[in-house]
């Protein structure tokens, strides 16, 4: 672990609701809370304090104890599917007070870091879809699969807790969750509890049909929404999350006339030197070129699925001098040719 990564994991914090959920699952399986918190620097008493938070490093240690003791690779989905909007406290109260699921979705995206710093959520809008692309904001490599299992199962379950039964059934048939890894054997037992799930995809995403986001929420209350937003803003400020450098850089990486901005240009837009931008990205465990690759991949997939542009035109749109260079890069990202990937996405394979 590099000094920069150690510093990041030691300062980023996560709500205590997540380690408490892990401890609860372990206790149900006959494993004491002391064994899950052993050698972590965390105590059950600390976790039960109002508004308690622990560092990402401490959460990693708890995950390590949980995985070692429980010995069940399926616990990520099990933990996620136990969630509801009531579990996440203030933000959950705000979500249930929104007028529509679309409004609740955008509130959750804006203030999710009050709960966990591990993921960065980027919205891609098409004519028919609202796509939430999920990337790691905090490197958590040993528990990457576990973390994504928890995240997607939890996101889906919290969404469902806001919907009426008929709304839930419609949403379940039209929503997709994409994982960028092969399907694990243990997924079969959870398949009926989730929407459409696709494995081996180019990136990790939640994909909603935009019409389903207009579902009204029965408990809507605009006054409560305003109160929650103000309190979430204060909490974001206290946690130091108002300056999310990854999201800011991603926001400036827009391809125009076949070219993406370079590091110097983005740094100027963000009113900092090249060296400062490099340092801030390094502290997040990523480089400018890695972010650019991520954005190129995202834009390529979006154009393949939502437009009728030829592969040659898409290559030019995302800054490749020749279709051959684009196809070579695309195969490195996905293991597939652009044409094959487009066919799979359109056929729903």
Average pLDDT, the chain: 87
243-249: long-range contacts, CB 8 A cutoff, minimum separation 24: 244/113, 244/120, 244/137, 245/270, 245/277, 245/280, 245/281, 245/284, 246/120, 246/137, 246/281, 246/284, 246/286, 246/291, 247/120, 247/122, 249/277, 249/281, 249/288, 249/291
**pLDDT confidence of residue 171:** 87
- Residue-wise pLDDT for 173-231, tens only, equals 899 999 999 999 999 999 999 999 999 988 899 999 888 888 889 899 999 999 899 88
Write down all domains in the chain, each with its CATH number in brackets: 1-71 (no CATH), 72-242 (no CATH), 244-347 (1.10.10.60)
| CA pair distance 148, 241, nearest whole angstrom | 21
The token duo for 93 is: 């109260």
**pLDDT confidence of residue 346:** 66
The token duo for 200 is: 């081996």
**pLDDT confidence of residue 212:** 84
- Residue-wise pLDDT for 236-269, tens only, equals 877 776 556 887 788 788 777 778 889 999 998 8
- Residue-wise pLDDT for 141-172, tens only, equals 788 999 999 999 999 999 888 888 888 888 88
- Other CB atoms within 10 A of residue 200 CB: 15
Q: How many residues does the chain have?
A: 349
- Residue-wise pLDDT for 275-320, tens only, equals 999 998 988 888 999 988 888 888 888 788 767 788 998 888 888 8
* CB of 176 closer than 8 Å to CB of 207: yes
Q: Give the pLDDT mean for 71-98.
A: 90
**pLDDT confidence of residue 159:** 87
């Amino acid at each position: 672990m590099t000094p920069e990564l150690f510093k990041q994991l030691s300062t980023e914090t996560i709500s205590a609701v997540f380690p408490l959920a892990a401890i609860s699952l372990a206790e149900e399986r006959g494993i004491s809370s002391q064994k899950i918190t052993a050698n972590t620097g965390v105590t059950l008493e600390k976790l039960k304090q109002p508004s308690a938070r622990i560092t990402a490093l401490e959460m990693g240690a708890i995950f390590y104890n949980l995985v070692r003791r429980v010995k069940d690779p399926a616990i990520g989905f099990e933990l996620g599917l136990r969630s509801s909007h009531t579990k996440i406290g203030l933000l959950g109260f705000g979500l249930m007070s929104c007028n529509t699921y679309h409004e609740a979705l955008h509130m959750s995206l804006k203030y999710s870091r009050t709960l966990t710093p591990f993921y960065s959520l980027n919205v891609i809008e098409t004519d028919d879809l609202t796509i939430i692309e999920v990337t790691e904001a905090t490197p958590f490599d040993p528990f990457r699969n576990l973390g994504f299992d928890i995240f997607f199962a939890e996101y889906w379950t919290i969404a469902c807790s806001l919907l009426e039964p008929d709304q839930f059934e419609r949403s379940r048939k039209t929503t997709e969750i994409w994982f960028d890894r092969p399907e694990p054997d243990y997924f079969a037992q959870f398949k009926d509890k989730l929407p459409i799930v696709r494995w081996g995809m180019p990136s990790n995403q939640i994909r909603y049909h935009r019409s389903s986001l207009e579902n009204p929420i029965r408990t809507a209350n605009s006054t409560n929404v305003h109160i929650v937003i103000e309190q979430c803003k204060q909490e974001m400020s206290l946690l130091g999350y108002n300056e999310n450098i990854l999201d800011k850089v991603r926001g400036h990486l827009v391809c125009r006339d076949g070219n993406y901005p370079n590091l110097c240009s983005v740094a100027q837009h963000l009113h900092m030197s090249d060296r400062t931008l490099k340092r801030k990205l390094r502290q997040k465990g990523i480089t400018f070129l890695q972010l650019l690759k991520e954005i190129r991949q995202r834009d390529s997939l979006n154009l393949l699925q939502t437009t009728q542009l030829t592969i040659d035109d898409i290559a030019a749109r995302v800054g490749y001098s020749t279709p051959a260079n684009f196809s070579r890069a695309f195969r490195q990202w996905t293991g597939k040719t652009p044409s094959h990937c487009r066919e799979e996405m359109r056929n729903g394979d």
